[in-house]
């Protein structure tokens, strides 16, 4: 069955955008996943098809209207796929959540603009609020593309070797070990000797140690999870 993404956006021309290229693009062409970008403006109010209004309580900027967004959501909701609102106020996106989304039938993504979205439609539609990081984008479209890219590459038949997903950063609570390829020496920098030894056990040990070392320095939160999971501290 095709994994289907509906995107609700004021800028439908931004899709599939970069997802029309490379692995995701090929998979789109092959029908492994499909995408429909719906223009929220189609559901706008009045002659000008207004989608936003001033915030109750005052303050800068405009807020996307609940009635407009509810109609847009209603045009694609199927009771099967989760509705995700991209927002910096959301729960941070994780590889675990991406894996679950990829394992389901697809997703409906609502992209905010302006100051954000009337909270009532988020609650009424039981939407999941997801953030792609602690910074503010000008709209939800790039966040939606990031989420989709992460999910699509996990769909069966998209990635070359299934094993590559298992060893990646976050799959084991560790960041990935560093990679090297030819030439074995470049600008007087040699590749770590173990990697050219042909000793598979030593290579696996080296990689685990390198992954643990970098995680401990860069992401002590992930390292603590790794240790808590019962892994032996290297
Ligand atoms: N006033 C909002 C705040 O401070 O939380 C920021 C609104 S932002 C300018 C406009 C839209 O961009 C948001 O409604 C959301 O859809 C999207 N957006 C911005 N940063 C994001 C992030 N880190 N993750 C997901 N979506 C984001």
- The pLDDT assigned to 134 comes to 98
CATH number at residue 198: 1.10.1270.20
Is the pLDDT at 203 greater than 80? The verdict is yes
131 lines ligand 1 (CB under 6 A): yes
- The pLDDT assigned to 163 comes to 55
Same domain, 135 and 193: no
Interval between CA 136 and ligand 1 midpoint (Å): 5
Same domain, 85 and 24: yes
Report the interhelical angle of 220-228 vs 200-218 (nearest 10°).
130
Mutate to test the pocket of ligand 1, among 136, 141, 145, 150 (most ligand atoms within 8 A of CB): 136
Instruction: Dig out the tokens for 70 from the structure.
Output: 């509810």
Atom of ligand 1 minimally distant from the CA of 89: 5
Which whole number is the average pLDDT over 100-114? 98
Same domain, 129 and 194: no
Same domain, 82 and 113: yes
Is the pLDDT at 104 greater than 60? The verdict is yes
Atom of ligand 1 minimally distant from the CA of 136: 20
Atom of ligand 1 minimally distant from the CA of 93: 24
Same domain, 63 and 112: yes
pLDDT band at residue 117, thresholds of 50, 70 and 90? very high
pLDDT band at residue 200, thresholds of 50, 70 and 90? very high
Among 118, 152, 186, the domain-final residue is 152
Same domain, 91 and 53: yes
- Residues of the chain with pLDDT > 90, as a percent, come to 91
- The pLDDT assigned to 164 comes to 67
Q: Whole-number mean pLDDT of the chain?
A: 96
Same domain, 140 and 171: no
Name the residue range of residue 203's domain: 167-228
Within a domain: 157: no
Within a domain: 73: yes
Among 95, 117, 152, the domain-final residue is 152
Same domain, 148 and 179: no
Among 97, 117, 152, the domain-final residue is 152
Contacts of residue 151, Cβ cutoff 8 Å, sequence gap at least 6: 3, 98, 101, 102, 107
Instruction: For residue range 90-99, list pLDDT tens digits in order.
Output: 999 999 999 9
Which whole number is the average pLDDT over 116-139? 98
Shortest-distance Cα residue to atom 8 of ligand 1 = 138
Instruction: For residue range 140-187, list pLDDT tens digits in order.
Output: 999 999 999 999 999 999 997 655 677 788 877 899 999 999 999 999
Q: Look at the chain and report how many structural domains it folds into.
A: 2
Same domain, 181 and 147: no
Q: How far does CA 150 lie from the centroid of its chain?
A: 5
Among 14, 38, 8, 41, which residue's Cα sits nearest to residue 111? Answer: 8
- The pLDDT assigned to 230 comes to 85
Residue whose entry in the numeric block shows the structure tokens 């050219």: 196
Angstrom distances, CA of residue 158 to CA of 24, 135, 165? 7, 30, 11
Contacts of residue 131, Cβ cutoff 8 Å, sequence gap at least 6: 86, 87, 88, 89, 90, 91, 92, 93, 143
Which whole number is the average pLDDT over 109-135? 98
- The pLDDT assigned to 171 comes to 76
- The pLDDT assigned to 205 comes to 98
CATH number at residue 107: 3.40.1280.10
139 lines ligand 1 (CB under 6 A): yes
Within a domain: 160: no
Interval between CA 60 and ligand 1 midpoint (Å): 15
Same domain, 112 and 177: no
Which whole number is the average pLDDT over 115-134? 98
């Amino acid at each position: 069955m095709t994994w289907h993404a509906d995107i609700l956006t004021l800028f439908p021309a931004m899709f599939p955008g970069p997802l029309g290229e490379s692995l995701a693009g090929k998979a789109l062409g092959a029908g492994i996943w499909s995408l429909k970008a719906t223009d929220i403006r189609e559901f706008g109010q009045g002659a000008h098809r207004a989608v936003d209004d001033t915030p109750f309580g005052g303050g800068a900027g405009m807020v996307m209207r609940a009635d407009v967004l509810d109609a847009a959501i209603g045009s694609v909701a199927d009771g099967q796929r989760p509705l995700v609102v991209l927002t910096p106020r959301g729960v941070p996106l994780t590889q675990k959540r991406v894996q679950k989304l990829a394992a389901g039938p697809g997703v409906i993504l609502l992209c905010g603009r302006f100051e954000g979205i009337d909270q009532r439609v988020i609650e009424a539609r039981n939407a999941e609020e997801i953030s792609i990081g602690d910074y503010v984008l000008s709209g939800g479209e790039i966040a939606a593309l990031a989420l989709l890219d992460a999910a699509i590459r996990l769909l069966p038949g998209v990635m070359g070797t299934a094993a590559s997903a298992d060893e990646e950063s976050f799959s084991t609570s560790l960041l990935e070990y560093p990679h090297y390829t030819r030439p074995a020496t470049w600008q007087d920098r040699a590749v770590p000797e173990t990697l050219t030894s042909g000793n598979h056990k030593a290579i696996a040990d080296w990689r685990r140690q390198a992954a643990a070392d970098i995680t401990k320095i860069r992401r002590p939160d992930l390292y603590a999870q790794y240790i808590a999971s019962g892994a032996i501290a290297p």
